Structure 1
Amino acid sequence: MASKLAYENEAVIRRTVTDVWHMEFIGFYNCWNDHTNQITTQVFMFRDKRRQPELVVTAFRGTGAFDMAQWCVDFDISWYEIPDVGKVHGGFYKALGLPKKGSWPKSVAHSLGQPPSAYTVVRDEMAAAVKREPGVQLLVTGHSLGGALAVLLPAVLAMNGEDDILKSLAGVYTFGQPRVGDEKLGEFVGNRLKTTPARYRRFVYCNDLVPRLPYDDSSFMFKHFGECVYFDSFYHAVVMEEEPNKNYFSLLQVLPKYINAGWELVRGLVIGLTLGATYKQSWAMTAFRLVGLFIPGLPPHTPYDYVNSTLLSKT
């Protein structure tokens, strides 16, 4: 089943990249997690040769709804401490490609047909792009789990001295990204991105639960860093340091969250009529909105509202 889903995902992505976006598809990769001994990470890459300089995009896939291996990654909130760098979410760090023994490898090396790690395959494709066209622009993005891996990638590139790649990193944009580490890690990544042309933007839609996890308190000490672009339920954007209600379970926010969930249900029923077929909400999404009347932080995490936010925001 997993391999069939992976094939179907690749087919859909390939058609979207080539037929809709008219870009060149580089590859769809199912990547190995050395700690769980299974595939937990999917990433695809494509490029736009029409741009000058060329643009190469790396997109990490978020957690699949029925992928237990990826759910285990999300819930592994053990700390992994990196000397002189900071503490990082253990599950995300391992999913990016941390080897069980030794340091990060300098090349893609695997045996008996075992897939490569996400970090090594992405790094090697990026290095090839930089060598092919020194002025190339590299863009990294991802939703949910994919966003966590996207923002950790520059940290590992910096740790391994991949300066040529970092210099070409034009942007890191994440959507519905959970917290990935402590304050020291945030300072390390922030400082490295400041020395490159890269712009890190963390997009958060309304009451999305995931960006409020793991908790930012004295027990967990997970911290966001960089600017947050926050969208309310009318798709208005505001740039701020931290999204409102940062740990989600504030008693002051209980009633507004449920009222907003009701508004999102109504909005979804009429948005296709008012704004056109591009924005029409599926029946599956409508059903999920009903779930939101009980757990209002779940439906806002889907890509649907993030796509609408980027298309409809006027600020």
Structure 2
Amino acid sequence: MAHKPEYSKSLAYMMSVASKLSYEDIQVIAYELDKGGFDMKSSFKPFAFKNVCAYSVDKDDITLLVFRGSNPLNVQNYLTNLDIRLADVYAARGYLGKVHKGYWEALGGPDCEMSSRTTLTLSKMSRWKEWARQLVDPVDYRFLSTLDRDLQRNHSLYSQIETHLLDRMKLFPNKRLFVTGHSLGAALATMFAAKLAQHNSLLLQNLGGVYTFGQPKLCDERFSRVVFDRKLTNVFTRLPSYSEYSTPPGTLVFIDSAYNIHFFPPDQYTNEPVPVPLISYLHSSGLLDAHVVSRLPKESLIRIVYRLLAPYMINDHFASEYPNCLKNGNIVK
């Protein structure tokens, strides 16, 4: 019988809330994290590069690295998601396997730099002009700080984050690093951990785990088996299969309609992911499910409208749904 991974429901809930917050403006994120008791004065740090964003923050003995999902107004985010070509990845120890090209290249590498370009001022632009600008200049200015603008425009997201966190870990060597994100942010979180493994980063010594929410499939079977080890077993994933993609690495934590939390860990001997159960597409919008129907009186009108207009898996994928499930759910032993 496969060994169930160490799992903290409270930690998962905290990271699901942090992932949900990543979609907000920096000022809102900072305000909510400060209310939650995070160390905002000395540890909060936003990152941005091309069309992807993240932030890191400390609380007690934990450092959270949170990647933001797709911004509905960011055209480049959609292009990153849709670039499903598989790219070959190599390390000093040899060939690692194939990964989703869009996600892998969005993070860049330790030596990846961009030539500087003239910046534009978002405050002088309408939302429609902002949408059009992102076709050619996709940096999300909500995550750009004035002091670090040149750094954020000219150095890859991976390079920025690794450099910052390594400096932090020198000061606080006992901090445990947890990486998280929702949807596109979930993919970037796992890709970041994979790049740490690829480059044998010193941050691996502090890596406590990777918790992701609504993560798409990222790689082939070889990459999943070779790159990811026991430090990367705490992973939330779910998306139907396509192309040559394999079951995502790590442990699938599946939350059913009754908010029961189920674990599907990888093989304890080979570390290969266990095939996950199929999705039932008969429960359109979730309104044929008794548990969903029983919760309707407590939901807002707009949420009910979404359930009527969109398939249930889209409703389940909202970033707000994961904290709600974890808060009210129970772990199935």
Contact 2:285 2:309 in 1 (8 A): no
Contact 1:230 1:243 in 2 (8 A): no
Instruction: State yes or no: 1:179 paired with 2:217.
Output: yes
The residue aligned with 1:20 is 36
Q: Which one has more relative contact order, counting CA pairs under 8 Å at least 6 apart?
A: 2
Contact 1:29 1:43 in 2 (8 A): yes
The residue aligned with 2:131 is none
The residue aligned with 1:230 is 254
TM-score (norm 2): 0.71
Aligned residue for 1:180, secondary structure, equals coil
- 1:1-315 equivalences under 5 Å are 9-24=25-40, 26-32=44-50, 40-48=51-59, 51=60, 54-83=61-90, 84-98=95-109, 104-105=110-111, 111=116, 113=150, 114-162=153-201, 164-191=202-229, 194=230, 198-204=231-237, 211-215=238-242, 219-240=243-264, 241-245=274-278, 248=279, 253-255=280-282, 257-258=283-284, 260-263=286-289, 266-271=293-298, 281-292=299-310, 295-315=311-331
Identity of aligned residues (%): 26
CA distance 1:236–1:174, shift in 2 (3 Å): same
Deviation at 1:173, TM superposition (A): 0.4
State the alpha-carbon separation in 2 of the partners of residues 8 and 175 from structure 1: 17
Aligned residue for 2:204, secondary structure, equals helix
Contact 1:88 1:185 in 2 (8 A): yes
State the alpha-carbon separation in 2 of the partners of residues 18 and 170 from structure 1: 23
Contact 2:235 2:252 in 1 (8 A): yes
Moved more, 128-137 or 165-174: 128-137
Aligned residue for 2:111, secondary structure, equals coil
Gaps of 5+ in 2: 1-21, 118-149, 265-273
Q: Partner amino acid for 2:248?
A: H
Q: Partner amino acid for 2:225?
A: E
State the alpha-carbon separation in 1 of the partners of residues 156 and 65 from structure 2: 14
State the alpha-carbon separation in 1 of the partners of residues 78 and 300 from structure 2: 25
Contact 1:141 1:150 in 2 (8 A): yes
Aligned residue for 1:298, secondary structure, equals helix
State the alpha-carbon separation in 1 of the partners of residues 24 and 211 from structure 2: 25
Contact 1:45 1:56 in 2 (8 A): yes
Aligned residue for 1:297, secondary structure, equals helix
State the alpha-carbon separation in 1 of the partners of residues 114 and 37 from structure 2: 32
Gaps of 5+ in 1: 1-5, 33-39, 99-103, 205-210, 272-280
Deviation at 1:202, TM superposition (A): 2.2
Contact 1:110 1:116 in 2 (8 A): no
Contact 1:227 1:242 in 2 (8 A): no
Aligned residue for 1:121, secondary structure, equals helix
